[in-house]
């Protein structure tokens, strides 16, 4: 079975690790904001990790065009659904960091970061009026669902269909 290029595999797994880190940092930051304990460093680190996800997504799209992708396993309905899930994943992996950047710009977070004054950071419920923050949170939920469907598809191929599809996204080559 044809495999993805090594750099595509590395970017795939690195993106996953950074997504978990961004989710954890964002959840921690949300709790800290609700308790008025958020820090400038918390927003900076969360933003940097989100920015890294955006850069990796752009790199991955570039690598897809340059290296190509393995051919689809089949042409049935579930194969078309899988292709749609992959395209939607790319879209969300691009829009999620962009919505985070827009939240920074459209909220007091941007002013706090530019001035270096943590007292300007949002407090509990301050994000309620920031539309891009609602979009950002919704995108996180959509991403979780897409990743779950993606993982379930990989599990199905590995343990039910047993077609070795998961090997395409591994560094170790057969």
Longest Cα separation, the chain: 56
Those residues with Cβ within 8 angstroms of residue 37's Cβ, 6 or more apart along the chain or in another chain: none
- For the chain, the average pLDDT equals 94
Confidence tier at 71 by pLDDT (50, 70, 90): confident
- Ramachandran quadrant class, 68 (left: phi over 0; alpha: psi -120 to 50; beta: rest): left
pLDDT tens figures, 12-22:
999 999 999 99
- Ramachandran quadrant class, 12 (left: phi over 0; alpha: psi -120 to 50; beta: rest): alpha
Percent of all residues in the chain with a pLDDT value above 70, rounded to a whole number = 98
pLDDT on residue 1: 60
Closest CA to 43 of 58, 60, 28, 59: 28
Please state the rounded mean pLDDT for residues 32-58: 96
Q: Which residue has 């994000």 as its token pair? A: 127
């Amino acid at each position: 079975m044809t495999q993805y290029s090594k750099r595509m595999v590395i970017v795939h797994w690195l993106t996953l690790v950074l997504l978990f880190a961004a989710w954890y940092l964002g959840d921690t930051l949300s709790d800290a904001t609700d308790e008025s304990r958020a820090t400038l460093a918390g927003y900076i680190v969360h933003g940097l990790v989100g920015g890294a996800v955006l850069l990796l997504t752009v790199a991955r799209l570039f690598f897809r065009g340059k290296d190509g992708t393995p051919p689809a396993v089949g042409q049935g309905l579930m194969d078309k659904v899988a292709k749609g899930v992959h395209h939607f994943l790319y879209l969300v992996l691009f829009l999620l960091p962009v919505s985070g950047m827009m939240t920074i710009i459209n909220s007091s977070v941007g002013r706090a970061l530019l001035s270096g004054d943590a007292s300007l950071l949002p407090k509990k419920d301050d994000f309620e009026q920031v539309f891009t923050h609602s979009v950002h949170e919704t995108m996180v939920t959509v991403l979780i669902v897409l990743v779950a469907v993606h993982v379930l598809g990989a599990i199905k191929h590995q343990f039910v269909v047993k077609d070795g599809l998961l090997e395409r996204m591994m560094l170790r080559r057969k």
